[in-house]
Amino acid sequence: MLASARQLLRTGRCHTEAAAIVVPASQPVKCISLSASIHAAEAAPDLSPDSPEQPAVVPALGAIRSDWTREEIQKVFNSPLLELIFTAASVHRLHNNPRQVQRCTLLSIKTGGCPETCTYCAQSSSWSKTTGLKAEKLMDLDDVYEAAVRAKEAGSTRFCMGAAWRGPSQVGARQWDRVLQMVAKVRALGMEVCTTLGMINDVQAQQLATAGLTAYNHNLDTSPEYYGQITTSRKYEDRLNTLAAVREAGISVCAGGIIGMGEGPKDRVGLLHQLATLPEHPESVPINSLVSVAGTPLEGREAPSGLELARCIATARITMPRSMVRLSAGRLSLSMADQALCFMAGANSIFDGDKLLTTPNNERSEDMKMFDLLGLQSRPAFVDLLQRPEPKACAATG
């Protein structure tokens, strides 16, 4: 009987229709259109006839929610790996074309000399003596533009620019104006434009929006509890404040983290919980594997396995169903089969080009072979993304 105390009311969204489904807790909940199933008994509270609990409202698979508890995400994360990936693949198909994978290019427009103390990063001035990385000046506008044109010709649809700064407040007006011009010029190519420039305030976020910025990257890196092991030069709250300024300016949010820095599984869950409980999910969630750089405090750390990465990606996909989940740094240490598993788990973006800021990355020609073998297609720009009108005028471009 539907009124039985052992029944659960599940509500949520299947394709475009919100659905409220009443199911017995003892039976799998099945999304018929996807053949995706999860066992209600695993996800449900105790609703036996003796239980004082009332039937609970449990959101359906693929529902967009920001009310995840950490325990719920831990439970998803701890699922048997193949079940987890199957569920994530099913959620992926609710919201995305699983054959489409976006190719992005990341350029370091200002390398080294950063005053921050991120222990994983070769660009911190704190480790420059041991890494040997020299600080460089902000690139010229024309050189950045040419790099973006080359990236577009090679098939990238998003061009990301990173500057090793604490934030734009650290630099003068002329340099900041040049960055705004870079944004406007690259956006005029019809590419999505992302920048990662450190901490920004409301005014700077608004200036970037006016210049035509599509997305701003600011990773949370890890859980709040582990953050102090990664840097002490800023607080977790600073990161969240920057994300709020980006969101407020109407710019798409790109925020993710890094695994393999010595954190435990609980920290990986803590990171995903932070991201999945933001008032709106980031449109873009990069999941990076540490690329250990000689001379940094994290020198010599072993890269996480492809299976560890796939577990994080699958959990990100299930908890943030509509976001772009980006298989980011660390792909060089993965086999094609590892990467295929990550795509199955819901990753739908990679960075291509031979460098990711200062660390090596996979050859484009190898990636193209992989796309062919796996039947993947390059995702066009601006698919189901927070659409921004083309900038009509930009003070920075004069």
| Among 31, 104, 121, 312, the one annotated catalytic | 121
Nearest to ligand SF4 of 72, 221 (CB atom): 221
Query: Catalytic one among 14, 114, 342, 394?
Result: 114
CA 113 to chain centre: 25
Q: Taking CB under 6 A as the rule, which mask of x and - marks residues 104-133 in contact with ligand SF4?
A: ----------x-x-x--x-xx---------
Does position 84 bind ligand SF4 by CB under 6 A? no
Q: How far is the CB of 108 from ligand SF4 (least distance, A)?
A: 9
Question: Does residue 160 have an active-site annotation?
Answer: yes
In the complex, least distance from residue 119 CB atom to ligand SF4, rounded to whole angstroms: 9
d(CA 353, CA 365): 9
Residue nearer to ligand SF4 on the CB measure, 96 or 119: 119
- Residue 294 has φ and ψ, to the nearest 5°, of -60, 135
Q: Which is nearer to ligand SF4, 198 or 353 (CB)?
A: 198
Which one from 118, 312, 342, 394 is the annotated catalytic residue? 118
Catalytic residue among 158, 326, 379, 388: 326
In the annotation, is 103 catalytic?
no
Q: List, in sequence order, the alpha helices (H) in the chain.
A: 40-43, 70-77, 81-95, 128-131, 141-153, 173-187, 202-211, 227-230, 236-248, 265-276, 306-319, 336-344, 364-374
From the list 367, 20, 351, 31, the residue with the least C-alpha distance to 196 is 351
Which strand (E) or helix (H) includes residue 72? helix 70-77
Give catalytic status of residue 118 as yes or no. Answer: yes
Structure token pair of residue 313: 């990606």
Instruction: State which residue, 212 or 282, has the beta carbon closest to ligand SF4.
Output: 282
- How many Å is the Cα radius of gyration of the chain? 22
Question: Contacts with ligand SF4 in 150-209 (CB under 6 A)?
Answer: 164, 198
Element (H, E) at 397: none
Least Å distance, CB 181 to ligand SF4, is 21
**CB-based contact 336:343 (threshold 8 Å):** no
Closer residue to ligand SF4 (CB): 15 or 137: 137
Which C-beta is closer to ligand SF4: that of 131 or that of 339? 131
CB of 164 to ligand SF4, least distance (A): 4
The rounded distance, in Å, linking the Cα atoms of 270 and 71 is: 10
Which tokens go with 159? 């061009």
Considering the complex, state which of residue 231 and residue 348 has its C-beta at the smaller distance from ligand SF4: 231
d(CA 295, CA 156): 32
Listed residue (187, 191, 242, 192) closest to 211, CA to CA? 187
d(CA 381, CA 144): 19
Which DSSP category does 169 fall into? G
Nearest CA among 114, 107, 115 for reference residue 148: 107
Identity of the residue numbered 381: A
Site for ligand SF4 in 318-377 (CB under 6 A): none
Instruction: Tally Cβ neighbours within 10 Å of residue 121.
Output: 25
CB of 118 to ligand SF4, least distance (A): 3
Which candidate in 14, 31, 104, 254 is catalytic? 254
Least spacing, CB of residue 135 vs ligand SF4, in Å: 11
Nearer to ligand SF4, 37 or 117 (CB): 117
Minimum separation from the CB atom of position 2 to ligand SF4 (A): 54
Residue 81 · residue 310 · CB < 8 Å? yes
State CA 333 to chain mean position distance: 19
Active site residue 114: yes
- 121 catalytic, yes or no? yes
CA distances from 284 to 27, 145, 209, 210, 255 (A): 34, 24, 17, 20, 6
The least distance separating ligand SF4 from the CB of residue 367, rounded to whole angstroms, comes to 24
- Site size toward ligand SF4 (CB under 6 A) is 8
The stretches of 283-375 forming alpha helices (DSSP H) are 306-319, 336-344, 364-374
Contact predicate 168/198, CB 8 Å: yes
Binding stretches for ligand SF4 (CB under 6 A): 114, 116, 118, 121, 123-124, 164, 198
Active site residues: 114, 118, 121, 160, 194, 254, 326
